[in-house]
Each structure stands twice: as structure tokens, then as C-alpha cells.
Amino acid sequence: MFQMKAEQKIFDIGGVKVGGVPGKDPTVLIGTIFYKREPLVQDEKKGLFDKEEAEKWIRRQEELSDVTGIPCMLDVEGSTAQSMERYIDFVAGITDVPLLLGGPTPEVREAGLKLVEEGGLEDRVVYNSLMPGCSEDEMEMIKSSGVDSAVLLAYNVVDLTAKGRLEALVELLKSTEKHGIGKPLLDTFVMDVPSLGIAFQAFRDAKSSLGLPVGCGPHNAIGLWKGLKKKMGLKSRRSMVASVNAFAAASGADWILYGPIESAGVAFPAVAMVDAAYAFPRIQAGARIGRDHPLFRIA
């Protein structure tokens, strides 16, 4: 099992606990909605979408979370300030789960932050994301909004090893701590299939040395796998979604951006199985695990 030097921190974000010891504390799964070319989105720039379809998938994720014991969050993406405002307004009104505030530029995310501040949603929002080289103005913008959690991306353009990723995170943490971001979620950065192993190695290095919640978006590897459909067939994609998310959980992820929310039916059972499998050795070692843990939910 996992041997970690640092005390493992657990953050409460909107009532969802993130972090801790693999096997004892469930992995948090985060589905992405309103992403580019999502079928339910009708106009990406204006933020027009099929509300019934969007609510259906949000409810489906919540249902799977209840059934499996795997906590969930929602990653809200928007390509423009207008669309981000529409999406946040809708999602915040129909669900209580924590929200990741995504978007391609700081300006788009700023529009979301303004709505978050106006609606008093600060405690249930994670800014997604900050990376090395981000401006002081962007971090000050987050601080001013009252949001104290952000995804920190371990992007090191010079050194793509696990060590390089950890070094990037350590430097970024020095800046975010000064700006009141007290609940950082470390993203060890997946680009493609070869980077999966490095990102997962960085999980253990970061948890052992920093004790902070770690995770990533392993589905990125599937999206950039050019030969998947051609060589493996279209049906292979579902098995890859299950495999890559289970792989991340088995490697020690505290949270996982599992991909499009439409993949919830594949991701939740796969990760719940891993969490349940890791729980029993923890119990044998003397850990106390709540009855809402996947070990007791999926039987």
C-alpha cells in the first residue's frame, strides 16, 4: 500500500471532503459539462443549451454518487464570459455539489467569479486552474472573490519528469499561499498515454512530500490517442474510460476529472471498485471506515 511521509490533508469544499489516505478516504470524481462540442450545447459563445438534457446528466452523476459512495463535483466550462455566466447561474440553481470554474482564459473565469461572489457561492467553488507563470493579478482576482480553492497545474516546460512536476508545484504553491488559496488541488498534468505513468508517479511524490490532495484529468490521454478508434474500434473507448480512471484511483488520486459528464456511468463503478478493494487492507491495519464508503455501498 501507500507509504507517505507527510501528514495527509483533507479539505472540505462545499461539503465534499478531498484528500486523505487512499483506500480510507474515497476518491472524488468530477464530470465536465458544457465542454466544447458537447451535444447539449447549442451556442458556445452565447451559452445556449438544452436545459433538460443538462439537468438529466447532472442528476445522473448525483445518482451514481449516492449509489457508489463516491463523492462528486462538477467542472463547468465556458468559452466566453457570457456563456460562463449562463452556465454558472443554471448549475448553481439546480445542484448543491461543488463546482470547478473552468474556461480558456482568465477573463472568462473572472466573469464566473463575479457571479460566484454575487451569489455567495465562494465556499463551493474551485478555480480551474492556475499554472506556473500565471500573473499576480489573476491570483489577486481569486482572493478578492472569496474563493480559497484552486487547481494547480504541474506544468514544467523544461522538465516533464515526475520530479519536474513536483518542482513546478512547489514553486506555484509559494505564490498561491501568499494570495490566500488555502485549499490547493494538485494536478499532475496528463497530456497523452505516455504521460500517464509520470503523472501517477507524481501523485505519490507530491502526497508523500506535501500531503496535499492530488489528481489529474486522465481522460486527456484518450482524447489524444489517435489510433484508438482506428486500431481498436469505436467500442473500445468505453473500456479505456473505465481503465484510465481506475488506473488513476489505484495510483493514489484523491480527485479525478473523469471527462465528459456523459461518461459517469462508466467512471463511477470503475473507481468505486478500486476504492472498495483498497479499503479492506486499511481495515485490517486498524483504520475505521464509515458505512457510506464504497466498500459498503457497492456490495
Over residues 218-272, the pLDDT tens digits come to 999 997 777 666 677 667 789 999 999 999 999 999 999 999 999 999 999 999 9
Inter-residue contact 93 to 50 (CB < 8 Å): no
What confidence score (pLDDT) does residue 273 get?
98
Q: How far is CA 188 from CA 41, 83, 292, in A?
A: 29, 28, 28
Confidence band, pLDDT 50/70/90 cuts, at residue 1? low
Per residue in 54-77, pLDDT (tens digit) is: 999 999 999 999 999 999 999 999
Q: Quick one: cell of 196?
A: 500517464
In this prediction, residues 169-196 reach a mean pLDDT of 97
What confidence score (pLDDT) does residue 156 get?
95
Percentage of the residues of the chain whose pLDDT score is greater than 90: 91
What confidence score (pLDDT) does residue 229 get?
64
Superfamily of structural domain 10-297: Dihydropteroate synthase-like (3.20.20.20)
Q: Quick one: cell of 62?
A: 448525483
What confidence score (pLDDT) does residue 226 get?
72
- Domain range list for the chain: 10-297
pTM metric for this prediction: 0.97
| Cell 490533508 sits on residue | 9
- Give the sign of the dihedral formed by CA 251, CA 270, CA 296, CA 186: positive
d(CA 57, CA 85): 20
Inter-residue contact 47 to 82 (CB < 8 Å): yes
d(CA 152, CA 131): 6
d(CA 137, CA 107): 11
Confidence band, pLDDT 50/70/90 cuts, at residue 5? very high
In this prediction, residues 201-217 reach a mean pLDDT of 98
What confidence score (pLDDT) does residue 299 get?
76
Q: Quick one: cell of 250?
A: 489505484
Using the 8-state DSSP alphabet, how is residue 230 labeled?
A: I
